């Protein structure tokens, strides 16, 4: 469940179990053990985790369930009492999960949840060979977060920032390239903080500069980034054609008052200035944004500033979340009289989503007539779909020898507003 980091960790678990006598179940064979890697970024994520655990337990009564991830880190005792659950493993112990299972019979409910600061050696974790059912490879370069946004519990569930060495990242990149991947995506819990915790310190811009020469014409992509980390050295790296011209920013709000109460560390005009510099370095840049609606004290006027910022900043893809209290955070302590009603938050959320659809259509029109390399993600009945370097969705009639994970040059001819995709 959840973020790209969870996906990398899940993939690593699936590939390292064999060394300890645990193998992925084959089709037609009921599994003996099911591991669920949970998320806890919102209250809805928590609800979905509980729902998934119950559903999996009912569908697989013979299987023992092991629960790990962020929801497991913060709710270990309650999870241990759920049907079918025999072990709850915290984020710090996730990398040694197989060792723990090999040493102890998995026959009873127990906990293996320590402080999130007690991690395994950061460069000792196994390299990932490949990603099942995925065309691009995700590379976790960093874990944890030192920020203190007032609405977020992730620093408490993931611990402080913890970066892998450039040598480790290069080794993992080379393995992906040797295994045929055409695109590598750098990811982390707080990707922009990469390297600050190391001695000597490093930066995300330095990491990108070290990786671009080894990409051999393949794509390098950055995943979600805190806008505060959109500084000049990183902006200049986007001038390199090997770095994909797409960036997803966790903007959260377009109103200075709300940004300050969220503890975000930047303001509306500063953000617009940085985006202008980014587009100066790479004019074809496409942007996405995470946004929270209904943060306590957010007025209708505050929300309108978020709406107008999307157009001013030229945002194309919107990921919209309704605010939900996270236990122990400063925002959760804001009195109820300052809260936005669920109905109003839902209306604002829907308004932003509709704005996002219009913004995608507007961006798509600017790309018509161009020939773009598309990374093929799916193939069905002779039709392929995938993403351009700018992360625009495209479908096209595929040549007979087309394969997933392949880069195919496609002439963009139009935009389908129903499917929300370009075609060519």
Ranges of each domain in the chain: 4-112, 137-367, 371-423
For the stretch 148-180, pLDDT in tens is 999 999 898 999 999 999 999 999 999 999 999
Return the pLDDT at 194: 96
CA distance 94 to 91: 5
Does the pLDDT at position 99 exceed 70?
Answer: yes
Mean pLDDT is lowest, of 59-63, 88-92, 299-303, 352-356, for 88-92
Tell me the average pLDDT of the chain: 92
Does the pLDDT at position 336 exceed 80?
Answer: yes
Residue with tokens 């943060």: 295
Does the pLDDT at position 117 exceed 80?
Answer: no
CA distance 299 to 301: 5
What is the DSSP secondary structure assignment for residue 38, as one 8-state letter? E
Return the pLDDT at 133: 67
- Topology of domain 137-367, per CATH? pyruvate-formate lyase- activating enzyme (3.80.30)
User: Which DSSP string do the residues of 280-329 spell out, in sequence order?
Assistant: HH-TT-EEEEEEEE--TT--HHHHHHHHHHHHHHTEEEEEEEE----TT-
pLDDT-derived band of residue 108, with 50, 70 and 90 as boundaries? Answer: low
For the stretch 60-72, pLDDT in tens is 999 999 999 999 9
Return the pLDDT at 81: 87
pLDDT-derived band of residue 100, with 50, 70 and 90 as boundaries? Answer: confident
What is the DSSP secondary structure assignment for residue 27, as one 8-state letter? T
**What number of other Cβ atoms are within 10 A of residue 354's Cβ?**
11
Q: Measuring CA to CA, which residue among 321, 249, 298 is closest to residue 41?
A: 321
For the stretch 366-416, pLDDT in tens is 999 999 999 999 999 899 999 999 999 999 999 889 999 999 999 999 999
Q: Which stretches does DSSP call E strand in 303-404?
A: 315-322, 371-380, 383-387, 393-397
CA distance 246 to 282: 10
pLDDT-derived band of residue 342, with 50, 70 and 90 as boundaries? Answer: very high
For the stretch 275-306, pLDDT in tens is 999 999 999 999 999 999 999 999 999 999 99
CA distance 176 to 172: 6
Residue 287 has φ and ψ, to the nearest 5°, of -125, 145
Does the pLDDT at position 109 exceed 90?
Answer: no
Yes or no: say if 123 and 143 are a contact pair by the CB < 8 Å rule: no
């Amino acid at each position: 469940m959840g973020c790209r980091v969870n996906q990398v960790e899940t993939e690593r678990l699936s590939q390292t179990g064999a060394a300890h006598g645990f193998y992925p179940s084959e089709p037609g064979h009921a599994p003996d053990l099911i591991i669920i890697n949970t998320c806890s970024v919102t209250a809805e994520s928590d609800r979905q985790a509980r729902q998934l655990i119950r559903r999996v337990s009912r569908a697989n009564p013979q299987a023992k369930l092991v629960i790990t991830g962020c929801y497991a880190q913060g709710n270990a005792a309650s999870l241990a009492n759920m049907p079918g659950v025999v072990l709850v493993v915290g984020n710090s112990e996730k990398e040694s999960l197989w060792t723990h299972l090999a040493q102890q019979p998995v026959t009873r409910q127990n906990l293996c949840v320590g402080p999130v600061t007690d991690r395994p050696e950061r460069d000792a974790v196994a390299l990932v060979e490949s990603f099942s059912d995925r065309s691009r490879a995700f590379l976790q370069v960093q874990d944890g977060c030192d920020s203190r946004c007032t609405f977020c519990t992730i620093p408490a569930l993931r611990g402080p920032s913890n970066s892998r060495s450039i040598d480790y990242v290069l080794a993992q990149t080379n393995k992906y390239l040797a295994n045929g991947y055409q695109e590598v995506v750098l990811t982390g819990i707080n990707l922009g903080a990469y390297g600050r915790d190391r001695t000597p310190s490093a930066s995300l811009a330095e990491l990108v500069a070290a990786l671009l020469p080894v990409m051999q014409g393949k794509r390098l992509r950055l995943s979600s980034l805190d806008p505060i980390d959109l500084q000049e050295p990183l902006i200049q790296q986007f001038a390199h054609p090997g770095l994909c011209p797409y960036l997803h920013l966790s903007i959260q709000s377009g109103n200075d008052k709300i940004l300050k109460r969220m503890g975000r560390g930047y303001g509306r005009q500063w953000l617009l200035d940085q985006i202008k510099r980014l587009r100066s370095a790479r004019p074809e840049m496409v942007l996405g944004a995470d946004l929270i609606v209904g943060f306590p004290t957010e007025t209708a006027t505050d929300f309108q500033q978020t709406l107008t910022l999307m157009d001013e900043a030229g945002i194309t893809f919107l990921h919209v979340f309704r605010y939900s209290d996270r236990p122990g955070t400063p925002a959760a302590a804001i009195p109820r009289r300052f809260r936005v009603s669920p109905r109003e938050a839902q209306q604002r959320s829907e308004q932003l989503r509709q704005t996002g659809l219009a913004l995608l259509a507007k961006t798509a029109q600017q790309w018509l007539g161009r020939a773009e390399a598309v990374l093929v993600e799916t193939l069905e009945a002779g039709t392929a779909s995938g993403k351009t370097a700018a992360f625009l969705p495209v479908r096209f009639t595929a040549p007979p020898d087309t394969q997933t994970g392949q880069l195919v040059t496609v002439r963009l001819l139009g935009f389908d507003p129903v499917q929300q995709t370009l075609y060519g």
